[in-house]
Amino acid sequence: MHLFKKVLSVLIFCCGIAFVQAQTAPKPYGAVPTERQLAWQEKEMYVIMHFTPTTFQNKEWGFGDADPAIFNPSNFNAKNIVAAVKAGGFKGITVVAKHHDGFALWPTHSTEYNITKSPFRNGKGDLVKEMQEATNQAGLGFGLYCSPWDRNNANYSKPAYINEVYYKQLEELYSNYGQLHTVFYDGANGGDGFYGGAKEKRSIDASTYYNYEKIWTIVRKMQPGAAIFSDIGPDIRWVGNESGFAAETSWSTLTPVSPVKDKKPSPGFVVEKDLPTGTRNGTFWTPAECDVPLRPGWFYHPEQDGKTKTPTQLLEIYYQSVGRSAALDLGIAPMPSGELHPDDIKNIRDFGEILKKTFAVNFATGATITATNTRARSKVYAANHLIDNDRYSYWATDDSVTHADLVFQLKDQSSFNVIRLRENIKLGQRIEAIAVDAWIEGAWKEIGAATSIGGNRLIRLNKTVATNKVRLRILKSPVCIALSDFGLFAEPNLQ
């Protein structure tokens, strides 16, 4: 009787722990994303369009002295551009409303140097509006970039430019062009320019002149849904290069560091070498955006015809950006006619077709999954959440379990060469190392491995694997695991 009582109390105690854990989700780990950042993460790919008088001058950085009369595209049609972008699977379009040359593509009241002084739509045009309407009609997100550096304005580098011109431009743009999904802030700061005819070099202190704290307040107030991109976030960080790749180990958190001791980091003023990797256990949730032009330059140059990135090159970029939990922001550049070059349209479309085919079938769907541990043995955290279509339902382990194995008995013998993992990032970025094995000729064989996982990790294998059983080993995590997605896919040419 005595023994029976003891066993009973142990049993009650264990059930108690299991019950408590079943009721309690894992505690979030470190910095976590906001709703705005979650929405951004799901977008994965969007484009940024450069098209100003600089296009007509065949330059990359307009000096700020171009005659507005040269901005005269004969065949500009926003719908055609949007359709080409959509065919590539991109989910948004950011328009450069003003680049460093200072020319505003909307009828602004802040400067004379704007589209109403050009022949476009007989001086009655608003290119930003045309793009916004076409973008929203196609169901894509709209974003804006208004360069703080302005090589046209006579007052650039003085308070008058910032207070009477730049903030005003932001207010016009953020109130008249619908709900923005992202806004882009660039770190290019000062240098030589036209500056109202002064034609000189002007330097500013990037950490103070623009007063980014004020700018972020304007954005938050007027566009609360817009994810802010800059070298240091606050929502999305620059990845530190314009080649389109995040580091193999890329954390979604960052502790920005200033290049000068005792000064605050700011856009254009940060230790760049930290940006491709982010910071493990960084202070802020600040995942990376990889901005890279489709052609060698951000603007169209006829001599670069034939150098448009091919679908194969774009795929490489995709796996090293989107596949490393970053976003891909691809630069598109209309020709002076206002149209995209036929090669650009074709390569974007073909790239999109490959992606569509690749991710059409998940060979892990319908698998029977066995886990070495499931939190509180509860259905709430069961491994089958890894193969449902909910990005945030997840499999979790008990608090004390920081490595675990899962075996996926696939429904059928399958051939694949892409593996996808996603953590439930609402609980932070947890996992630090994983490996994947396939059951081949009666034994487990390692086929892939990765470090950081985060919101989206794609492992692209060099050859197709054929098997009916796959094992995922979570090797390292500082806290219990919260994984939401496991997928197996095949690129079309390898099927």
46 part of the interface to ligand FUL, by CB under 6 A: no
Spatial contact of 490 and 418, defined as CB atoms under 8 Å apart:
yes
| 163: Cβ contacts below 8 Å, ≥ 6 apart | none
Shortest distance in whole angstroms from residue 389 CB to ligand FUL? 34
- Categorise residue 35: left if φ over 0, alpha if ψ from -120 to 50, beta otherwise: alpha
Q: Give the whole-angstrom CA distance, residue 407 versus residue 387.
A: 13
Shortest distance in whole angstroms from residue 79 CB to ligand FUL? 24
269 part of the interface to ligand FUL, by CB under 6 A: no
Shortest distance in whole angstroms from residue 187 CB to ligand FUL? 6
Q: Which is nearer to ligand FUL, 128 or 483 (CB)?
A: 128
Secondary structure of residue 383 in the 3-state scheme: helix
Phi then psi dihedrals of residue 368, to 5 deg: -95, 125
Shortest distance in whole angstroms from residue 494 CB to ligand FUL? 33
Q: Binding ligand FUL by CB under 6 A: which of 44, 126, 186, 398?
A: 186
Q: Which is nearer to ligand FUL, 126 or 291 (CB)?
A: 291
Q: Which is nearer to ligand FUL, 267 or 454 (CB)?
A: 267
Q: Which is nearer to ligand FUL, 229 or 381 (CB)?
A: 229
Q: Which is nearer to ligand FUL, 51 or 71 (CB)?
A: 51
Shortest distance in whole angstroms from residue 246 CB to ligand FUL? 17
Q: Where are the beta strands (DSSP E) in 9-119?
A: 45-49, 92-98
Q: Which is nearer to ligand FUL, 241 or 310 (CB)?
A: 241
Shortest distance in whole angstroms from residue 48 CB to ligand FUL? 6
Helices 78-87 and 127-137, packing angle to 10 deg:
40
Q: From the CB of residue 58, how many other CB atoms can be counted at a distance below 10 Å?
A: 14
Shortest distance in whole angstroms from residue 185 CB to ligand FUL? 10
Q: Which is nearer to ligand FUL, 268 or 287 (CB)?
A: 268
Tokens encoding 424: 């439930």
Instruction: For residue 181, give the amino acid letter.
Output: H
DSSP secondary structure of 94-107 = EEEEE-TT--BSS-
Please, which residues bridge with residue 406 across strands? 371, 472
Q: Give the whole-angstrom CA distance, residue 87 versus residue 356.
A: 10
**Residues binding ligand FUL: number (CB under 6 A):** 5
Q: Which is nearer to ligand FUL, 48 or 105 (CB)?
A: 48
Q: Give the whole-angstrom CA distance, residue 41 versus residue 110.
A: 34
Residues 73-132 that bind ligand FUL (CB under 6 A): none
Tokens encoding 188: 């290019």
Per-residue mark of binding to ligand FUL, 289-318 (x: CB under 6 A):
--x------x--------------------
188 part of the interface to ligand FUL, by CB under 6 A: yes
Q: Give the whole-angstrom CA distance, residue 126 versus residue 105.
A: 6
DSSP secondary structure of 204-244 = --TTTTT-HHHHHHHHHHH-TTPEEEETT-SSEEE-S-SSS
Per-residue mark of binding to ligand FUL, 391-430 (x: CB under 6 A):
----------------------------------------
Residues 121-150 that bind ligand FUL (CB under 6 A): none
Q: Which is nearer to ligand FUL, 274 or 291 (CB)?
A: 291
State the alpha helices, DSSP H only, in 223-341.
311-321
Shortest distance in whole angstroms from residue 309 CB to ligand FUL? 15
Q: Which residues bind ligand FUL (CB under 6 A)?
A: 48, 186, 188, 291, 298
